[in-house]
Structure 1
Amino acid sequence: MLAEARVQRNKLNHYHPTKLFVFGDSYADTGNTRKAQGGSWKEPYGLIYPGKPTGRWSDGRVLTDFIAKYLRLKSPVPYRLRNVMTQYLKYGINFAFGGTGVFNTSSLNPNMTTQIDFLDQLIKDKVYTSSDLSNSVTLVVISGNDYNFYLAKSGSIQDFPAFITSVVNQTTTNLIRIQKLGAKKIVVSGLQPLGCLPQITVSSTFQQCNSTFNNLVVLHNNLLNQSVTKLNQESKNQILILDLYSSFMSILNHSSTYSIQNSLKPCCLGVSSGYNCGSVENNEKKYEVCDKPRSTFFWDSLHPTQAGWHAVCNKLQTMNVLKQLFY
């Protein structure tokens, strides 16, 4: 499917991006989270690719890697390594940090406003120019950490719609600012079905998605669609939405079509509720890994496997979403 898509893309190719700039959270992070923070730097993360932890919140490649591959670019260097891997800056840069949101969350990593500050400073330092931005694709990934943090602070379901509005409004502000820095083609992710994440479905023994959470996600996505439609009407620039909700649900509801055997149960689980994927206590593993991660959609309680992301991006291609990046 990927090969066929490339052939069709070459026939229709009117524009080829030179770099990929990335903002967001763990769905896009390829190594910005510091090793001292653990998590994605612990085994068994990176089990499938490259065979060891690289800071990616998966057993292998994540969304950023697949988008870069589709654009025929190398996955951009993590911002944390910008002074070490300078030869890769020509492919763009990845500012995404695991655990972050558009607002501050429980993570100490920089939120999206600060991530955009980083790019602003690199432009001032002449590492990149506005022309670099205008000839590139900018990926903005928002996966729901603001909402997790809201609930962790005992935010009420009744006030949730108002908070969703504030998150979308801040996202809109961020998109406008990225445009002003020179970006002409921006891809922003819609929210995935949060009610289907293993941290939620564990209460049903990974059998059923939570419709209450998914309905709130639909509200987020509808507001984001309205906002992006308005921005596109007001500007000659182009903002596209990656419909992660539909792509995730298509795979979860028809998993066998995508060679996925376990749709809701994650591959890597703590041995009990007090442990997570990668937990170690007294040099003893407190997690279990499934036998076939390549046939599992979710890797841990929040993140897809490499196979899961591959299926998502294939679905996005059949929806003709990614093709628009070349116009």
Structure 2
Amino acid sequence: MDFNLKLLFTFFFFTVSLFSGQGSAGGYYSNRHHRSHRLRATKLFVFGDSYVDTGNILVPFSSAQQFPYGITFPGKPSGRFSDGRVLTDFAGKHLGVKSPIPFSIRNEVGEERLKESGINFAFGGTGVFDTSVPLPNMTTQIDLFEQLRHAESGLSNRDVHLSVALVSVSGNDYSFYLATNGSAQGLKPFINSVVNQVMIDLKRIKRLGVKKIVVTGLGPLGCLPIFTAPFSFKQCNQTINSFVQFHNFLLKQAVDKLNKQITNQQHSYSSSSSSSSSSSSKIFILDVYDAFLSLIQGRGSGRVGLLKFKTPLKPCCFGVSSGFNCGSVDEKGNKKFVLCNDPKSAFFWDSVHPTQTGWSLAFSSFTSIL
């Protein structure tokens, strides 16, 4: 990785963590399998970063609390890092539950709302490890879930067993690593440590009673507008994507191994018990990497193939100076960004996050897993 690429990663981290809280969704697993493992979910529990955060970031300097975020839905900034709905919203709708309430406002909505949907513990800008953003990393988010399980929350064991956990693995860990002088030579070992920590987190969620866990790998980070801007939004950075593919390869290997262990444990339980398990326990990976690339490259079938983005790498909301300041204003209140005429015409909303339309189309590739 050359010096200029490292600078891009460094700028990416500080832009995202201070102003928007980027998260990355991606994966490696095929989305056309595992239809037989569907559960009728009663709740959705969400862990991760800004790709799934629906309002936990309440600090005023967050771009998600500024215009024009939320202009498509709900019509004003809501803490979502998009013009409208994000991955969590589409997952909830598909599962037949309301979008889970953000943990930050759980006390404002009451226990009945929790019973209807679940809780979103995701905070934009966080990673599986600590980043410079003083917010709960993945381990701490799971701590909050564990505390909720032990409290008088109205969550029965059956509710949790029939729930789905959505885990969004972040690119923030890698951005923070490079922004704090992590060497390019040490990046691959660091990727190993990130994937190992992800697996620790997934096992812990499973031990807390969630049988079905869906985790995102990394999407094509090299195709984010923050990295395609130097190429006039016409091509992805393949060097970055090669590291992403290494992460996804390791994640798939680790999840495959864990699922084999889970299957063996279930077979052992079934052979030693006269009662059958009520539902299978398994971990799945969303292949957002391929879903995003299909939309960017204008390929795909069905609903994904219906819409061809004219400039898929160009964001709808873009800063007029640095290019990465969607939602920012100067000291006089003047906008420091330009906005496209129609967010539905763009795949990317800002320098790192998809539009509601982008998420909607990408999600159509995930329905067989969820």
TM norm. shorter chain > 0.5: yes
Q: Which residue of 2 aligns with 1:134?
A: 161
Task: With the length of structure 2 as denominator, give the TM-score of the two structures.
Answer: 0.81
Q: Which residue of 1 aligns with 2:47?
A: 23
Question: Runs of 5+ in structure 2 lacking a partner?
Answer: 1-34, 267-280, 300-304
Q: Which residue of 2 aligns with 1:6?
A: none
Q: Deviations over 1:220-264 (max 9, x none)?
A: 001000111111111142001001101011110117742423200
Measure the CA separation in 2 of the matches of 1:295 and 1:261. Answer: 8
Measure the CA separation in 2 of the matches of 1:171 and 1:294. Answer: 33
Query: Based on CA coordinates, which of the two structures has the bigger radius of gyration?
Result: 2
Q: Which residue of 2 aligns with 1:59?
A: 83
Aligned with 1:323: secondary structure?
coil
How do 1:269-280 and structure 2 match up within 5 A?
269-273=318-322, 276-280=325-329
Aligned with 1:89: secondary structure?
helix
AA in 2 matched with 1:88 = R
**Higher RCO by CA contacts (8 Å cutoff, separation 6 or greater):** 2
Worse-superposed segment, 260-269 or 31-40: 31-40
Instruction: Give the direction of change, closer, same or farther, for the CA distance of 1:13–1:154 in structure 2 (3 Å limit).
Output: closer
Question: Runs of 5+ in structure 1 lacking a partner?
Answer: 1-10, 317-321
How many residue pairs get aligned? The number is 310
Task: Indicate if the aligned counterparts of 2:68 and 2:76 stay in contact, CA closer than 8 A.
Answer: yes
Instruction: Give the direction of change, closer, same or farther, for the CA distance of 1:194–1:176 in structure 2 (3 Å limit).
Output: same
Task: Indicate if the aligned counterparts of 1:143 and 1:192 stay in contact, CA closer than 8 A.
Answer: no
Q: Please state if 1:49 is matched with 2:73.
A: yes
The share of aligned pairs that are identical, in percent, is 53
Q: Deviations over 1:148-172 (max 9, x none)?
A: 1112113222211111000000000
Equivalent of residue 293 in structure 2, options 235, 244, 249: 249
Q: CA deviation at 1:323?
A: 2.4
Q: Deviations over 1:105-132 (max 9, x none)?
A: 1211110000000000011113124332
Q: Which residue of 2 aligns with 1:323?
A: 368
Aligned with 2:60: secondary structure?
helix
How do 1:39-188 and structure 2 match up within 5 A?
39-86=63-110, 87-90=112-115, 91-127=117-153, 128-188=155-215
Task: Indicate if the aligned counterparts of 1:275 and 1:286 stay in contact, CA closer than 8 A.
Answer: no
Measure the CA separation in 1 of the matches of 2:38 and 2:294. Answer: 30
Q: Cα RMSD over matched residues?
A: 1.7
Aligned with 1:35: secondary structure?
coil
Aligned with 1:175: secondary structure?
helix
Equivalent of residue 339 in structure 2, options 289, 294, 301: 289
